[in-house]
A and B are shown apart, each in its own frame.
Chain A
Amino acid sequence: EAQVTQNPRYLITVTGKKLTVTCSQNMNHEYMSWYRQDPGLGLRQIYYSMNVEVTDKGDVPEGYKVSRKEKRNFPLILESPSPNQTSLYFCASSPGTSGYTFGSGTRLTVV
């Protein structure tokens, strides 16, 4: 089944404790992206990647890091999480010409 897999689905952590949210797609898509979704603000792009080793900042990259060492994987790293990073996170992938396929989401709470 073609899909984007994110883990974990839910995460509660403390301020400052480094964490990684994993994302993997099995569709051989070139484009991958991370979004966060907050009430009233919609989906905001954090980072995107056009291919292996090619990444760029989206609209809200502060406090996040990404890497794209393999085509299928695009992890999101929070080096020192803060409460304002409490949000619903989505990973998505695309072949480029059409729209995104989204993962199931990761609900992160930073206390």
Chain B
Amino acid sequence: QKEVEQNSGPLSVPEGAIASLNCTYSDRGSQSFFWYRQYSGKSPELIMFIYSNGDKEDGRFTAQLNKASQYVSLLIRDSQPSDSATYLCAVKGPGGFKTIFGAGTRLFVKA
């Protein structure tokens, strides 16, 4: 079992729709959870982080964390073609030093 799992996609949504990206992790002691966006040929950039159970909103982005289910998700409202990218879920382990990434989900937003 991979430590951080994501559906590789591609996930295709129409412009203006809600895109839902999901991630599960195996280590119950994990402390911090991150979502990065990576455009083709570019480096990952941090878009959201969440530490506590529940929802965290930032503009069109909402991160959701459920530690009991070991599940973290990212919702993108009013999706735009510019949101088309690979979204990486990352989990920081109990020691707070190692950060493990999922393989990423490719998102396509159709105009």
Contacts and interface: CB of A to CB of B under 8 A. Distances in A.
Interface of A: 31, 33, 35, 40-45, 48, 50, 56, 58-59, 90, 96-105
A101 B99 CA distance: 13
Size category, B interface: 20 to 34
Q: DSSP majority for the B interface?
A: strand
> Which of A48, A99, A104 has most chain B Cβ within 10 Å?
A99
B99 A45 contact: yes
B54 interface: no
Contacts of A31: 97
Given A40-B103, A99-B36, A102-B44, A45 B88 contact: no
Interface of B: 32, 34, 36, 42-46, 49, 88, 90, 96-104
Given A42-B88, A50-B97, A98-B49, A90 B44 contact: yes
Nearest to A39: B103
A14 B100 CA distance: 30
Contact of A98 (B43, B46, B103): B46
A101 B47 CA distance: 11
B49 A99 contact: yes
Contacts of A59: 100
Contacts of B36: 99
Given A48-B97, A59-B100, A99-B34, A43 B88 contact: yes
A44 B104 CA distance: 12
B99 A90 contact: no
A45 B46 contact: no
B57 to A, nearest CB: 17
Nearest to A41: B103
Contacts of B100: 45, 59
B49 A105 contact: no
Contacts of A90: 43-44
Given A35-B101, A43-B88, 13 more contacts: A33-B99, A40-B103, A41-B103, A42-B103, A43-B101, A45-B98, A45-B99, A90-B44, A97-B32, A102-B43, A102-B44, A102-B45, A104-B43
16 contacts: A35-B101, A41-B103, A42-B102, A43-B88, A48-B98, A59-B100, A90-B44, A96-B96, A98-B49, A99-B49, A100-B34, A100-B46, A101-B46, A102-B43, A103-B43, A104-B42
